[in-house]
Amino acid sequence: MDIGLQHYLVASGALFSLGLFGIIFRRNLIVVFMCLELMLNAANLTLVAFSRFTQHMDGQIFVFFTITVAAAEVAVGLALVVAIFRIKGNGKTESLKELKF
């Protein structure tokens, strides 16, 4: 069987949805951040697949920027988790319920 564009798109779509479900349903902040990375990498996979099959290089350049920015995002995110851990003693999403109506 030949692996074509649509196989990559289905795989990346599945990863993207998996990440989204993880963000909605998981209760640990670190796991939530991992799911965010999963979503970003699913998008990267789509970009690379399109780049490969349409013979335009822009998509691969885009991926470099995405990876760099995602690293910056996670650096800030982990700093936040550390700050929360110092105050609350855990990294659970349930402990964040101060702000509500």
Contact positions vs other proteins (CB under 8 A):
16, 19-20, 23, 29, 32, 36, 39-40, 42-44, 46-47, 49-51, 53-54, 56, 58-59, 61-62, 65-66, 69, 72-73, 76-77, 80-81, 83-84, 87-88, 96-101
> Which residue lies nearer to other proteins by CB, 1 or 51?
51
The nearest distance, CB 54 to other proteins, in angstroms, is 5
| Main-chain dihedrals φ then ψ at residue 28, nearest 5 degrees | -105, 130
Closest C-alpha to 62, from 44, 74, 42: 44
Cβ–Cβ < 8 Å for 82, 76: no
> Which residue lies nearer to other proteins by CB, 10 or 69?
69
Closest C-alpha to 23, from 93, 95, 101, 97: 93
